[in-house]
Structure formats: structure tokens, C-alpha cells
Amino acid sequence: MYKRATSDHSTQEEQEERLREALRTSPSDRRGYIEVAPEEYPDVPHRRAARIAWETGLRAEAVGNRGSWRFGEKVVEEVPHD
């Protein structure tokens, strides 16, 4: 249903690869976070995104995200990635 509403017909694997690319190439903000919109990756759960970030040397922030996923080298509270 979500794919119909957003016209996103990519597979989970394609979305995961786009997320990896975003984590590699996106600039961080002044606090050192890379923010991505979870609606761009509708089939990727937050825990899976945390695992992908961990594989690239980043950690996923668990709190205070206000609708975004935040990743950085240091976080306040990390999302479990197993």
C-alpha cells in the first residue's frame, strides 16, 4: 500500500543500497549527524538501517529525531543493530 501511495516500486535491496550511498556521500550537520528521511526507504526497518550504518562505521541515534533517522560517529542513545 505504501508503495502505491508514494510510487516507490524499488525493492528492499535497492532501498538499502540507496541508504548506503546516502550515508557515504551526504554531508553531516554542525552536530555531526547525517539525517535521512525514513519515507525514502519504506521497506527498510530502523533496526536494519542501524545495521547498515554500523557496517559503514556510523551509529544510529535512537532518540530526539523528530521524524528523521540520524546517524553519526557518536550518538546519545544507539539503536540496536543486531
**DSSP secondary structure string for all residues of 29-50:** -TTS-EEE-GGGSTTS-HHHHH
Specify if 41 maps to a domain: yes
Specify if 77 maps to a domain: no
Specify if 80 maps to a domain: no
Specify if 50 maps to a domain: yes
Give the confidence band of 4 by pLDDT, cuts at 50, 70, 90. Answer: very low
Indicate the pTM of the whole model: 0.81
Cell digits for 26? Answer: 551526504
Specify if 16 maps to a domain: yes
| pLDDT tens track for 42-79 | 999 999 999 999 999 999 998 777 889 999 999 888 88
Rounded Cα distance, 12 and 18, in Å:
10
Specify if 64 maps to a domain: yes
Specify if 53 maps to a domain: yes
Number of domains in the chain: 1
For the four alpha carbons of 78, 57, 34 and 32, in that order, the dihedral sign comes to: positive
The range of the structural domain enclosing residue 53 comes to 8-72
